[in-house]
Structure 1
Amino acid sequence: MRVLIAGASGALGIQLVKQLAKLKIDFKATTGSREGRKKLAPYANEIVVVNSQESPEDFTNVTRDIDIVISAIGKSISLFNPSSRSFHESDFVANKLLIKDALKNKVSRFIYVSMEGAMEANSFEIPGSHKETEDLLVNSGLNYSIIRPVGFFSGLNDLLIMAKRKVIPVIGSGDARTNSIYQGDLAKIIIDMLETGPRVQSVGGPEIHTRKEMAKMIQKKIGGKLLFIPSTLAGAGADMIKLLTSGTGNKLKYFNYIMDHDMIGERLGSMKFEEYLNTIDLKDLP
């Protein structure tokens, strides 16, 4: 069995790489940058840099001699990691090329990491791009599984960065609930599904918290003041920012949505959010 991990240098991808290496499962990794290659070098023997926008031909035969593809391709949702490319360009286009190549090379299984909200909130660009990819995969004829995590713990690092700046924003009342999952736990769940698994799996962590409860955990760990922002005000702010920079505006609009809506998946994994916070070295945050 040989596995391709696409998007291997991201928060989830690096966990997949580390765990496959530990299990001695043969794999190849793709990343979108030379910086990603450096990050993967200690764990992967075969690393391919691909760029779906500038060099779509990079994807030609990237799945040759591959049995199982895991696509963790995804543009960073962090407000502190800006990019001029849209989520459609960064996520859907790359996955479209990957699915096309997997079909050509008769890959036996394709596991796609989407997101909770891809069905219910696809009018937003971020989940909408995942929905496009899901639809393409479902209609491709490939044997597939779609994983929909409600969110990674690492995706909340923006709130930790803001807490270092003494403010922790909470959109709306803070009563919306979620059970985000540690990316290492999600990687293990995906690896357990390498050969077989459900068509669609909604995945969350072991504990359900309100956004306000999670903000208070961050406050306890780092400090800072909780700042409650009315949903209408936050939405108007995101619209204004979108006029100046669509990428950041789209991130903010979806951030506002998830902060004010329940996002709950099947309770899996083992690491709790408070435990995750205790693993964070604040010096690693900007």
Structure 2
Amino acid sequence: MNICLIGATGYLGSHILKELNNRNIYPIVLTRRWDYSFSSNINTKEVYKVDFTKKHSLLNKLDGVDIVISTLGITRQKDNLTYMDVDYQANLNILNEAKNSGVKKFIYVSALNANKFKDLKICEAKEKFVDELKKSGLEYLIIRPNGFYSDMKDFLDMARSGRIYLFGKGDKKLNPIDGKDLANFCLDSIDLKNKELEVGGPELFTHTQLANLSFEVLDKKPKITYLPDFIRRITLKVLPYFVSSKTYGPIEFFLTMMGVDMIASKTGENKLRDFYEKLVRLIY
């Protein structure tokens, strides 16, 4: 079984690459950037540097590949690229090359609830690609993970600054997931056909509980300010008039998800506290 991994230098992609190696699988990797410091502890069958936004850059790169796993996407717009350029069009370029090369299955990592918030720029792009994938004729697997542990660093950063600001009552719930646990979930599900899977981590938190955990790990007295939720809603409406679309995209997604429960099926064994404590040791 020949696997091609797209997005191997990103947070999730790097975890998937390590877990593939742990299973004695050495994938072909397509990436925009690669350096020896990153590749020193992993093994690949082949590495190709490509520009996913240009179709010709992908030509023949997927020959002999059975399964494509794509974690390709941008969380913050950069290099003058938009969500439509990367999350949609770049993935579509890969999908079209996969079809031309005889790839059997395409595994795509979207986001939890992205299909319910298509009015958000990042979700619109991701789900537009999901629609293309479903009608492509290839076997597909769509993974919809909850927020990553790395995203929860924002709570720790606020706690370190001395105060955490939450919206409403701070009672919205989520179960974020560790990169290693998500990587294993993706690979454990690899034989499933034409499925959409929602997945989160093993622990369910309210926003207030996340805030208290952040202060506790830092050994600081909790200082939490609860802002009326209408501030979040108003900010979503007026901010586009004051910031660029590149700046607004990530804020739009963050503020929207702060106003809803983000709960998915529980999996994994890695605890958020352990992730926080490691961050404190290494960074703070």
Question: Does the alignment reach a TM-score above 0.5?
Answer: yes
Paired residue for 1:32? 32
Shift of 1:218: 1.2
Q: 1:83 & 1:236 partners in 2: Cα distance? A: 29
The residue matched to 2:181 in structure 1 has which SS? Answer: helix
Shift of 1:192: 1.1
Q: Which amino acid aligns with 1:225?
A: K
Cα 1:273–1:237 shift into 2, 3 Å: same
The residue matched to 1:266 in structure 2 has which SS? Answer: coil
Paired residue for 1:214? 210
Does 1:16 pair with 2:16?
yes
Cα 1:210–1:138 shift into 2, 3 Å: same
Cα 1:228–1:83 shift into 2, 3 Å: farther
The number of residues matched between the two structures is 280
Q: Which amino acid aligns with 1:116?
A: L
Does 1:169 pair with 2:165?
yes
CA contact (8 A) 1:115 1:150 kept: yes
Paired residue for 1:263? 262
CA contact (8 A) 2:112 2:145 kept: yes
Shift of 1:90: 2.1
Cα 1:228–1:29 shift into 2, 3 Å: farther
Q: Which amino acid aligns with 1:166?
A: G
Paired residue for 2:125? 129
Q: Which amino acid aligns with 2:139?
A: N
Does 1:90 pair with 2:86?
yes
Q: Which amino acid aligns with 2:232?
A: A
Q: 1:186 & 1:30 partners in 2: Cα distance? A: 20
Q: 1:250 & 1:279 partners in 2: Cα distance? A: 29
CA contact (8 A) 1:171 1:231 kept: yes
When Rg is computed on C-alpha atoms for both structures, the one with the higher figure is: 2
Q: Which amino acid aligns with 1:227?
A: T
Paired residue for 1:232? 230
CA contact (8 A) 2:167 2:259 kept: yes
Q: Which amino acid aligns with 1:17?
A: L
Q: 1:184 & 1:214 partners in 2: Cα distance? A: 20
Cα 1:202–1:18 shift into 2, 3 Å: same
CA contact (8 A) 1:168 1:219 kept: no
Shift of 1:63: 1.5
Paired residue for 2:42? 43
Shift of 1:269: 1.4
> Which residue of 181, 186, 206 corresponds with 2:182?
186
Deviations 1:247-270 (A, max 9, x none): 221111110111110111111112
Paired residue for 1:6? 6
Structure 2: unaligned runs, 5 residues or longer? none
CA contact (8 A) 1:185 1:269 kept: yes
Q: 2:131 & 2:68 partners in 1: Cα distance? A: 17
TM-score by length of 2: 0.89
Shift of 1:183: 1.2
Q: Which amino acid aligns with 2:231?
A: L
